[in-house]
Amino acid sequence: MKNKKVIISVTSDLVTDQRVHKTAQVLHNEGFDVTLIGRKLNSSAEMPKRDYKVVRMSLPFEKGPQFYASYNFYLFLYLLFHKANILHSNDLDTLLANFLISKIKKTNLVYDSHEYFTGVPEIQNRKFVKWAWTSIEKFIFPKLKHVYTVNESIANIYQQLYNVNVGVVRNVPFLYKIDNQNNSLPFDASYPYLIFQGAALNVDRGAEEAILSMQWIENVKLLIIGGGDVIGNLHQIVKDYKLEDKVYFLPKMPHEQLKSYTSKAILGFSFDKSSNENYKYSLPNKVFDYLHAGIPVLASEVIEVARVIKKYKVGDFIPNHEPKAIADKINEILANQEQISTWKNNTLLASQECNWQKESELIVKIYKKL
């Protein structure tokens, strides 16, 4: 594969997007000449050293229609004037520019759909925005030949809609040893803590209810790590309910640093609601981050998350999203240390089976065909 040039594009901040990093790394390891293109926000951290080339675009807009339009315009120009044997598009918001260039330059195109994009809650009540994204998807998707996504549910949806064969590559971490370095916690390190992490803590992901449940939980802290649309609201809830001595925040951070915080928690949360199709069929990467860090998972019973937890017996489910019901379930779990120990032991098997070294075999297979 030496000298075969691959350009991978994504709209996210490259510092924290682990899926595209893992994809770029495995292709680099296979001998491809990889360039990863993303964006740089005003709030972006310094880019860690990577084995492949990185391009971070600073755009005049950071969100909204103007951002997506400007990103695809600049991406189109970049792809037009840079040689590539294979274009790799991540999610619908990078697909238009990649597809047009693939036709103009007769270049192979690989598409990785990280989620059911047209089902995200942010666009469900915005008719024109949803129509625009759906129109782009309907125009391009049936013409794609090399497609994969993050779980079976979303793959089935796309196959039924567009009659295209869609593979599955779950968003699992590299298999790694747990890092026991001492990180600075925002509270006394002698306290046990629960963790709710995510680069996109947005509406309907259950973070608000997790915080409110802490009203009825004693002797443990809740650590929230990440960023997203509701972060400001989460801080306000903590203030309004006087939970400053129970709930603490850290900003989103590189995965290498994050996993050492995760491994010291006693329980990880994933509370996505089934209020929209995207979350209903979601399989957040934080679920696998928890398992690789050796901690059990407490989750809402959405289809794909439930499948993992039930198969490996690594956690339990909240009965609903009422904060008091969540608190009761957490207190029940914390009172049964034997059960927690069993779940922790089972996370080892889960991580041995659900890791990027195994999961990325489909990506390598696609690229070797190309």
* Domains in the chain: ranges and CATH: 5-172+356-369 (3.40.50.2000), 193-353 (3.40.50.2000)
At 137 the pLDDT is 98
Residue 180's pLDDT is 64
Residue 288's contacts (CB-CB under 8 Å, 6 or more residues apart) are: 170, 171, 172, 173, 308, 351, 354
Question: How many Cα atoms sit within 13 Å of 182 on the Cβ side?
Answer: 3
Q: What is the C-alpha separation between 142 and 137, in angstroms, rounded?
A: 8
Low-confidence ranges of the chain (pLDDT < 50): none
Can you give the pLDDT at residue 199?
Answer: 80
Altogether, the residues listed in the chain come to a count of 370
Query: Which residues, including other chains, have CB under 8 Å from residue 39's CB and lie 6 or more apart?
Result: 11, 12, 13, 14, 56, 57, 58, 59, 71
List Cβ neighbours of 283 (8 Å cut-off, separation of 6 or more). 150, 151, 170, 171, 304, 305, 308
Bridge partners, 108 (sequence order): 86
51 in helix, strand or coil? coil
Give the contacts of 140 (CB within 8 A, at least 6 positions apart).
95, 96, 99
pLDDT of residue 196: 98
- CA 137-139-144 angle, 5° bins: 80
Q: Which amino acid is at 235?
A: H
Q: What is the pLDDT of residue 139?
A: 98
**Rounded to a whole number, what is the largest CA-CA distance in the chain?**
62
Q: Among residues 191, 145, 137, 148, which one has the least CA distance to residue 170?
A: 148
Distance CA 362, CA 148 (A): 9
Q: For residue 191, give both structure tokens.
A: 């306290």
